[in-house]
């Protein structure tokens, strides 16, 4: 396979934009597309090519990353007259960064093969800050050959790249990781309630939790930020940033539950967590 000369990135949100910005460090021409043209133009000022449509980007690139909100948006990009499956050149590698279901990835993989295209799932964790710093963790599902092709591109924003297995394995790993994260937040929230009700210092809980590894700094920061927002803002303002996180958590847990159903696995605690996770983020649980 000849070296990649043109890399495309679709979806310039909180994680996509800094990830695409770091692509500009590579030896290829970076092409970007977002429904918000302003985001694309911001990258164009730094040296990227702002594409007018997904089809235009697909026709020019040998590697295309997709980092949009959900499964529905990925579907819209892959299929149809303007979709990547109809416009990308044979052999193009498409990397799905969006959090989606295991079943969807397998269906897309089959359709990509019929179009003579390659597909990997490359789920990411580390957030906006990690994307900007180049410290993301990539969880990749797909063939070793495809990962080797994509590795230099992922490495522009990754500190860690984990090859989880075949197509879909990277996303399943991300869903499992998300499930643990949200369950930890719930446990931390309820532990803090119990501690405060008994007159204990949350700092004491933090000290013990950090010493034995039960609590990590991200859990503690979550509680502190949520508490600060509750104290300094009325409910209506509290809803704004934390409600968005809550909706994202609902989407992630929906994907986990759907994937569990497809794999014939029962996750009763996850179903309960899904019911209350939005209230957890807005400090109502």
Please report which helix (H) or strand (E) contains residue 259, including its range.
Answer: helix 235-262
Distance CA(185)–CA(233), nearest Å, equals 21
Per the residue annotation, which of 174, 193, 227, 247 is the catalytic one?
174
CA angle, 201 as apex, 200 and 203 as ends, to 5°?
145
Token output for 98? 């969006």
Active site residue 247: no
* Among the listed residues 136, 138, 215, 133, the one whose alpha carbon sits nearest the alpha carbon of residue 174: 138
* Among the listed residues 212, 278, 222, the one whose alpha carbon sits nearest the alpha carbon of residue 246: 278
In contact, 92 and 83? CB cutoff 8 Å: no
Scored b (16 or more CB within 10 A) or e, 250-273 reads: bbbbebbbbbbeeeeeebeebeeb
Phi-psi region of 145 (alpha: psi -120 to 50; beta: other; left: phi over 0): alpha
What's the burial of 152, exposed, middle or buried (CB within 10 Å: 0-12/13-18/19+)?
A: middle
Q: Catalogue the active-site residues.
A: 174
């Amino acid at each position: 396979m000849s070296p990649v000369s043109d890399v495309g990135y679709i979806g310039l949100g909180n994680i996509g934009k800094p990830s695409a910005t770091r692509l500009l460090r590579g030896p290829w021409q970076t092409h970007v597309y977002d429904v918000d043209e302003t985001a694309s133009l911001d990258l164009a000022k730094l040296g990227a090519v702002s594409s007018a449509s997904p089809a235009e980007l697909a026709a020019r690139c040998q590697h295309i990353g997709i980092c949009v909100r959900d499964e529905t948006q990925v579907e819209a990009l892959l299929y149809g007259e303007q979709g990547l499956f109809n416009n990308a050149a044979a052999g193009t590698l498409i990397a799905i960064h969006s959090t989606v279901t295991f079943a969807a990835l397998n269906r897309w993989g089959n359709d990509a093969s019929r179009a003579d295209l390659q597909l990997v799932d490359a789920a990411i964790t580390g957030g906006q800050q990690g994307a900007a710093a180049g410290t993301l963790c990539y969880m990749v599902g797909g063939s070793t050959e495809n990962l080797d092709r994509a590795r230099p591109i992922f490495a522009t924003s990754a500190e860690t790249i984990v090859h989880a297995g075949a197509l879909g394995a990277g996303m399943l790993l991300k869903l499992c990781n998300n499930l643990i994260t949200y369950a930890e937040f719930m446990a931390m929230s309820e532990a803090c309630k119990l501690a405060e009700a008994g007159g204990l210092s949350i700092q004491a809980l933090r000290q013990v939790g950090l010493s034995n590894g039960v609590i990590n700094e991200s859990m503690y920061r979550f509680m502190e930020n949520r508490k600060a927002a509750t104290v300094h803002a009325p409910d209506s303002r509290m809803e704004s940033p934390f409600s968005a996180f809550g909706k994202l958590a609902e989407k992630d847990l929906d994907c986990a539950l759907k994937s569990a159903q497809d794999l014939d696995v029962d996750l009763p605690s996850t179903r309960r967590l899904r019911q209350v996770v939005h209230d957890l983020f807005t400090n109502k649980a």
